[in-house]
Structure 1
Amino acid sequence: MVVKNTYGTSVTFSVKKYGNAPKHEFTGSATLRKKQEPVKQAKPKTDKPKEKKDRSLSKRSKQKIRKKITCFARCYKRLSFVTLTFLNIVTDEEAINLLRKFIDNVKKRSVDFQYVWIAERQTKNDAFKGNVHFHMITNKYWKLEKWWNYWISLQQKNGIVPREKDFKPSSAFDVRQLNSNNIRTIASYVTKYVTKNNAKFKCQVWNCSKLVSKLFTDFYTTTEFTDQFKRMNAVLKELDNNDKNSPVINVKMIDLNRNTLPMYKRLDDKNLIHKI
């Protein structure tokens, strides 16, 4: 048996059904992806523009985002939770283009700017119901007035103007500070804005900076590792898999606290190398 661990979750697999034993102790990093050579294909001639398919967060994507944000939080003492909303109704394509311009500008003016962003539909604003907006978790300290003004002016320069002249909503650029030591707080944000996000979009749904993409999110061990959690009474829930055809044997949910977090030091140390 082999156990795949990430912060708060350990999954035990049958090596026989799982396939070959893992080649690497750590996984989940973009550095392990095999580079694929682009395949040139002849494009069929057609007068009709290709219709873009709706995109949404799959279960696998949600799990990946949750892991990336948790590992991101372990690399920095403080993070910021930023919400970017629009002055008026925008298409998904307009919104994503403005977000990219905003991020490019922040990169030019910041040192070591790292982030994860997620698209979401507005539900509480009746005037712009269904309008896309974005949530970002970043390692940056934001000078609120400076970046609020920039976000407003960026929209106006690109034709997104408020319905009422000179109206500049303070909520258009909202920042909240997060203490990354409080892993439960980080998890609550992930659950609220990621796990429950089932909306569909005509644009990219999420993305992250290169460093965050390189972070490792999982590591393999034997069952001796999870036995330690049992002795610490830190297993909140254990689910056995009765599907005989599945390589998954069981899943353990681990209580993350001051006693259990040091158990993940090997993952912390691995990721701090990339931060440096």
Structure 2
Amino acid sequence: MTRTILITGSSSGIGRATAKLFHEQGWNVIATMRSPEKETELTALENVLVTRLDVQDSASITSAVGAGLERFGRIDVLLNNAGYGAFGPLEAVPMEKARRQFDVNVMGLLETTKAVLPHLRVSGGGTVINISSIGGKVTFPLGTLYHGTKFAVEGLSEALHYELATIGVNVKLVEPGIVDTDFAGRSFDFTNDDSLTEYQEFVNTFLTAQAQLAVGGDKPEVVAETVYRAATDETDRLRYPAGPYATELLAQRAATDDATFIGGIKAQFGL
């Protein structure tokens, strides 16, 4: 029996790489994105359904899940991948942007999961994989909103791990490090206010260091391979660091006290 995965945020980066990998492995793929009319590569693949899903649009979530079930008859794995990062001094960020950050990365993930769970429950099992980040276990400067959402994803996933086990559903977290995607471009939403002069030296130092750190990240395919392993290893393991950088940093965080680790992050950013 051919298994089916539904992926949010499939238009680029990790989502696209994962859709292609699962297709290569013989899965049915429901590749969702906000603007499917712009997609050409995935639509040409057999057993791939490209359809609209915007995690801030409840109707689109319901429609995408329904379309996937109508096309393939089942969903075995949900990959909650859609997300973005709002960075900047908290004083400078409008509250509507703060709400969007949580709506996309947390509320949209929860609503999509809720839309798929009835099918998984009735079918007797499946897997929910949430893309977290090293940013769900460690923090970087000026990432109050982004890190808040990823810490939330870590906590809600761990709690869901208990309750969904009772219906045969595994919950898993994939934790990428720095990934060579357009996250630093289209998905990196930086807000600043030059009139807040007290923050500007800090902001400029951060932006210089961030540009250097973003170079040479893991390829999205590395994360896709970790997602595939999480989906197919038939264990109840919860967390999967993705790539050597994430593995090393998360191990370092677990073994280090707050003052030492945070001091190291400050030094890395020149603060």
TM-score, normalization by structure 1: 0.19
Higher strand share: 1
Q: Which has the higher contact order (CA 8 A, sep 6+)?
A: 1
Larger radius of gyration between Structure 1 and Structure 2:
1
